[in-house]
Chain A
Amino acid sequence: MEALKDAFDFSDFSKSEQIGLIIFSLFLIAFPILGAGSFTKTVMIQFLLFSLFGMGWNTIGGYGGQVELGKAQYVGIGAYTVALMMVWWKIPFWVSMPIGVLIALGYSFIIGYPLFRLKGHYFAIATICTSLVLKDIFDNWDLVGAAKGIELPIHEHPDFLYMQFKSDTYYYYFIMVLFYIGLFYMNWFRKSKLGYQLRMIKDDEDAAESLGIDIRWCKIKAYSIASAFVAVGGGFMAVYNLYIDPASVMELSLSIKIALMAMLGGAASLWGPIIGAAFLVPLDRFLGSWLGGHKGLIGVDFMIYAALIMVVSAYQPRGIWGIIEQFRKRGA
């Protein structure tokens, strides 16, 4: 009960943040009615999805301060579990998605146990490697479609059990609900014992240990929570795109995008990953479709993308949210 109270309690935020959250929520709920085109709707779905990924990453990467660059493997696990179970045994999404999350949890414990013997850069490299290894396996594993990927069976009529709808609006509301579950969970998480302990680990590992914190175990727990988050998102990707292959759900660039969005928005803050996703997803999409259409400008969108990241991280390592807080402090 107390956990629930904590999850819905935003009272320690400033008035402007609370009002911002309410306006933002009203906008999210009303968005499909505003008559946006299908392209904008896709961008919004991507935004909510990447916010969810970013919030998950924020547990270990933000609060725990570990540079984790291997989240794509858990997106893949979530997506493949849903897709394969649907193709092989016609198991509904609502059963296969939780199973995917459980597999991701189990896998993250197995991977996390040796992984967290490493620290700093070595840890970051190792997370990339584990993700690449899994992608390579899926790329060459004929049983799961290898590099060709798998197509999900398309149902003639919309089917809630299999999460197949004609209109994007349904997907939009579904990912929005997941987004809010994630947001409330994170709101609880940052005030939980584990949240405090992770922040201590980020500040000073030796001191954390002297305060009775089993740092390795704490990191593994946070890593697993992050993995569960992205596995949920992965499951959604499978039913939304109706097609997955290792290149779309396990690519290194996906891992990096997840981490970058959260870092750019502001790691270790509740709003950071959301701001980061709100900023980068549309930028990514609009720049991509705008510049990508012109001959000779292909790739310029990536340059702009990279330059922005460099500017923000040089100016304020705590990301966009750090900049906002800086201004607020100056104003106060």
Chain B
Amino acid sequence: MGYYRAIQKEGCLIVPFLHVDNITKDFGGLVANNHITFSIEEGEIVGLIGPNGAGKTTLFNCIVGYHKPDSGNVIFNGRDITGLKPHETNRAGIGRTFQIMKVTSGMTVLENVMVGAFCRVDKREEARKEAVAVLEFMGIENIKDFHMNELPVATQRKVGLARALATKPVLLMLDEVASGLNPKEIEEIVELVRVINTEKKITLFIIEHIMEMVMKVSQRIIVLDYGEKIAEGSPNDIVKNENVIKAYLGEKYAQSL
């Protein structure tokens, strides 16, 4: 139980919602994640930023189970989920979206979201109802009969978000949902993320390059660089953090604030 010691507060044992403890992932010499530790509380929106190749997506994959970390543990909802397969972590309540979606003409948007809903229900009609509800919640029910390859990339990501939502996660991990969107659409997605958080009571963990989004929406931000966690704190602290400015934000951005 060594990993719980780090999070003892005032003598009480508090088990966080998601606790990533000392995760290391080494791709044959390239250390993508180097001893990363952090936790996320229930109901939070946490951002994960860092330059390209900093290990953000690898960290996601280690949590969800696409990669098995070389060392370290992931505790979710009081349960050790280290090394579980992605479908098992999904059943445990973690949903995720992908930065790059493979799309073939095989399925329509509605069918895609229905597959997500099938995670919790068996009957087709129920799955359809839930899928339509999710699409309506996201305001994209008008595209439900389109095939995925007929849609622009930004909309495809929205569908990815919809189908992840349809699996009824309690923790949702978004991998760059806002990239490729125009400012108005970013505004919308910020709003959507907030609504998901407040109405659906879903904890969010977000990888994002677009600062307007991540600064607006996150309550806390974790910064990775070269596989290591270099900072963690509120958006206001992060933009003032010298390490972060040097590694990622750049002098210009810091001055523009």
Binding site for B on A (CB under 8 A): 2, 6, 191-193, 196-197, 199-200, 202-204, 206-215, 268
Query: Complex formed: what's the CA distance from A181 to B64 in Å?
Result: 41
Q: Are A197 and B111 in contact (CB under 8 A)?
A: no
Q: Are B87 and A204 in contact (CB under 8 A)?
A: no
Give the chain B neighbours of A215 by CB distance below 8 A. 87
Q: Are A210 and B111 in contact (CB under 8 A)?
A: no
Cβ of A11 to closest chain B Cβ, rounded Å: 14
Cβ of A61 to closest chain B Cβ, rounded Å: 14
Query: Complex formed: what's the CA distance from A214 to B64 in Å?
Result: 14
Give the chain A neighbours of B127 by CB distance below 8 A. 193, 196
Closest 4 CB pairs of A and B: A212-B119, A209-B86, A212-B90, A204-B102
Interface size on B, residues (CB 8 A): 34
Chain A residue at minimum C-beta to C-beta distance from B163: A211
Give the chain A neighbours of B167 by CB distance below 8 A. 211-212
CB-contacts of B105-119 with A (<8 A): 106-107, 111-112, 114-116, 118-119
Chain A residue at minimum C-beta to C-beta distance from B93: A212
Chain A residue at minimum C-beta to C-beta distance from B123: A2
Q: A193-B118, A213-B87 are in contact. Are A203 and B102 (CB under 8 A)?
A: yes
- How many residue pairs link A and B with beta carbons under 8 A? The number is 81
Q: Are A210 and B124 in contact (CB under 8 A)?
A: no
Query: Complex formed: what's the CA distance from A311 to B62 in Å?
Result: 45
Give the chain A neighbours of B235 by CB distance below 8 A. none
Query: Complex formed: what's the CA distance from A207 to B123 in Å?
Result: 21
Q: Are B160 and A196 in contact (CB under 8 A)?
A: no
Chain B residue at minimum C-beta to C-beta distance from A268: B106
Query: Complex formed: what's the CA distance from A213 to B87 in Å?
Result: 5
Specify which of B64, B90, B95, B111 is in contact with A196 (CB 8 Å cutoff).
Answer: B111
Q: Is B3 an interface residue (CB 8 A)?
A: no
A-B contact list, 12 entries, CB within 8 Å: A193-B124, A200-B115, A202-B106, A203-B103, A203-B104, A206-B102, A207-B98, A208-B115, A209-B86, A209-B90, A211-B167, A214-B85
Q: A193-B122, A210-B90, A211-B164 are in contact. Are A204 and B114 (CB under 8 A)?
A: no
Q: Is B101 an interface residue (CB 8 A)?
A: yes
Specify which of A196, A203, A204, A210 is in contact with B118 (CB 8 Å cutoff).
Answer: A196
Q: Are A204 and B164 in contact (CB under 8 A)?
A: no
Scoring B residues 62 to 75 as 1 if CB is less than 8 Å from chain A, else 0, what string do you get? 00101000000000
